Amino acid sequence: MPDPTTFSPAVRRFLTAPLRFAVIATSGADGTPHQAVVWYALDDEGILINSLVGRRWPADLQLDPRVALTVVDPDIEAERYVTVQAEAAVAATGDRAVRDIQDLARRYGGDPRRFEGLERISFRLAPRSLTVHGEID
């Protein structure tokens, strides 16, 4: 099982490149798949994602923590991408989760103030497997 600290330098560069979005896939209580586009951040603890409380995918993760996250290189369309199969755990709620989404907003060029006062939840993804499609450098 990959540890985010053991991702190759090329994978780390790919995942930390600016303005790359991720698509996550979760499963509902009845097994129905759900996908959503999310902001994310990679650090030595794993991958951080954040949502407004009440959306479907956070509820899915609280019932079944298995998640797939795919990041596509927007310059080469679907010829280069990285998919991480992971297990999600709640990392923060309340003020800490708001600070997480504000940090993500800064990473993606958004306005951190628009998230003030919202009920947010952060998840930390612990990678279980990694797939690289195409050449990344």
Grade residue 44 by pLDDT with cuts at 50, 70 and 90. Answer: confident
- Give the Cβ contact number of residue 35 at 10 Å: 12
pLDDT value at position 78?
A: 65
Mean pLDDT computed over 69-79? 83
Longest dimension (CA), the chain: 42
pLDDT value at position 36?
A: 97
Average pLDDT score, the chain:
92
CA 107 to chain centre: 13
Main-chain dihedrals φ then ψ at residue 69, nearest 5 degrees: -125, 125
Q: Exposure pattern of 77-99 as b/e (b: 16+ CB <10 Å)?
A: eeebbbbbbbbbeebbeeeebbb
Checking if the pLDDT of 134 tops 70, the result is yes
Residue type, 17: A
Q: Are 53 and 62 a contacting pair, CB within 8 Å?
A: no
Spatial CB neighbours of 73, under 8 Å, sequence gap ≥ 6 = 14, 20, 79, 80, 81, 134, 136
Mean pLDDT computed over 103-115? 96
Higher pLDDT among residues 74 and 27, named by residue: 27
